[in-house]
Amino acid sequence: MPAPVQTRNTRQKDAIRAAFLEANRPLSPDEALNLAQKQVDGVSIATIYRNIGSLVEEKWLTEVPVPGGASRYEVAGKGHHHHFQCNTCGTVHELEGCELVMKPKLPRGFKYASHEYFVYGLCADCVK
């Protein structure tokens, strides 16, 4: 049986956690870097990737796959929801809940498990 994962809390990891909490939306590694650098000087992109990997492993973060783009990451443990991506700046935002009522017509013998839904448009900052 493998040894349990040892987690280290560092100023950098705390700054990365704070970045995700402050943004309150899915972040790319570059976005997390920009926010974390406001709190701790010297945070590198390698540190961001290493800590995102660790935070996903710890189930503190979860991956948000972006159709046709790079994944983002958000704080884990939220209920079922969907995402919106701005066509201009590329930021990804959460949409609360799920208003989709769909019953897809599946081939015989198939069983529905879940769905994904991604909305595109302009964020409030880009509309201005």
Sheet hosting strand 82-86, strand order edge to edge: 92-95, 82-86, 118-121
Q: 123 among the known binding-site residues? A: yes
Pick the closest to residue 35 from 50, 15, 52, 49 (CA basis).
15
80 is known to lie in a ligand binding site = yes
Residue 25's identity, in one-letter code, is: R
Burial of 48 (0-12, 13-18, 19+ CB in 10 A): buried
Is there a binding annotation on residue 98?
Answer: no
Binding residues for Fe cation: 80, 115
Binding residues: 80, 86, 89, 115, 123, 126
Binding residues for Zn(2+): 86, 89, 123, 126
